[in-house]
Amino acid sequence: MASGGEQKVVLITGCSSGIGLRIAVLLARDELKRYHVIATMRDLRKKDRLVEAAGDTYGKTLTLLSLDVCSDDSVRQCIDSVKDRHIDILINNAGVGLLGPVESISMDDMKKVFETNFFGTVRMIKEVMPDMKKRRSGHIIVMSSVMGLQGVVFNDVYTASKFAIEGFCESMAVQLLKFNVKLSLIEPGPVHTEFETKMMEEVAKMDYPGADADTVRYFKDVYIPSSIDIFEALGQTPEDIAKCTKKVIESSRPRFRNLTNSLYTPIVAMKYADESGGLSVHTFYNLLFNFGSLMHITMSILKCLTCSCLRRRTISPD
């Protein structure tokens, strides 16, 4: 980390909207001006929203660079353009979603999800890690998901990409600890973003060639309405996730895993309560197919289950 009173250099991927934009602005607006934020995005033509949100911090505590996490050359050029290639905090936020019956998803589309969500993050870590290890200092933040801990029906490929990055980071954290480099996972549940809203609207209208009629019906008529209910009952905002991330950055002993939503702790705990896996599989089956009409009641029960002992397992934005 930066010594003395120097600003810490924070590089964030995926800042054109949503969580990445909010993290960049929150850190750039830090009252003590502790951070110099390098906000990156693949297409700089999409910078207007970030520039507007950054206000008078733009060009001062926040600068903007082009970066495509799926390109070796782009990643290298971006880091080369940073003074002394010195990054104190890397926040891997860039990601893409994929939703629907797996029979109707092409292998190319699946590979694109892994190219961004998994290999894109690995590519960034590989580029900044050697310098952090050499300095015996640094913090790598990875935006994971509660879906990296618990599989969710019809999110098969996205979930797999998050499971992959969780396993990678869990392995890397051991080595990095020896070099005094910290690695932290941020694990949000549902987050209200334009991306999610748009995706929900689009998938409800799409055709799904290759998938049988029953599966398409379960997806459109059962999963989508239930998913919307869950978002309304449990969803956080990008600002919430940004505040949680800032807390992790500023912690003297940051945790490796950081669930942001205490309402999801019973779901995760249920998985580890039964080593056979049957409890979580059958619970999700019943929630989706047998108790769909009772989803609002289910959400209320989940809120009641989230007692103070479970809240301690999460990092709150407040």
| pLDDT value of position 44 | 96
- Among 58, 158, 218, 264, the active-site one is 158
The phi, psi pair for 255, rounded to 5°, reads -75, 155
| pLDDT value of position 1 | 38
Q: Would residue 218 show up in a list of annotated catalytic residues for this protein?
A: no
301 pLDDT higher than 60: no
Mean pLDDT for the stretch of residues 302-309 = 52
pLDDT in tens, 157-201: 999 999 999 999 999 999 999 999 999 999 999 998 776 777 777
pLDDT in tens, 255-264: 999 999 988 8
- Which residue from 163, 107, 86, 140 is spatially nearest to 249, judged by alpha carbons? 140
Q: Do residues 107 and 158 make contact, with C-beta atoms less than 8 angstroms apart?
A: no
| pLDDT value of position 292 | 56
Mean pLDDT for the stretch of residues 41-59 = 96
268 pLDDT higher than 70: yes
| pLDDT value of position 2 | 43
What residues form the annotated binding site? Answer: 14-42, 68, 145, 162
CA distance 142 to 133: 17
Mean pLDDT for the stretch of residues 223-235 = 83
- Which residue from 307, 300, 270 is spatially nearest to 285, judged by alpha carbons? 270
Q: Count the alpha carbons within 13 Å of 204 in the hemisphere toward its beta carbon.
A: 14
271 pLDDT higher than 90: no
Quote the DSSP letter at residue 276: T
pLDDT in tens, 92-142: 999 999 999 999 999 999 999 999 999 999 999 999 999 999 999 999 999
Number of residues written out for the chain: 318
- Which residue from 101, 147, 142, 139 is spatially nearest to 123, judged by alpha carbons? 142
Residues β-bridged to residue 9:
36
Integer CA distances (angstroms), 29 to 5, 50, 91, 205, in order: 17, 13, 17, 40
CA distance 190 to 175: 31
pTM over 0.85: yes
Alpha helices in 206-250 (DSSP H): 213-217, 224-234, 238-250
CA distance 233 to 302: 10
**How big is the chain by its Cα radius of gyration, in Å?**
20
Q: Do residues 150 and 271 make contact, with C-beta atoms less than 8 angstroms apart?
A: yes
CA distance 168 to 152: 20
CATH superfamily of the 8-212+236-265 domain:
NAD(P)-binding Rossmann-like Domain (3.40.50.720)
| pLDDT value of position 3 | 42
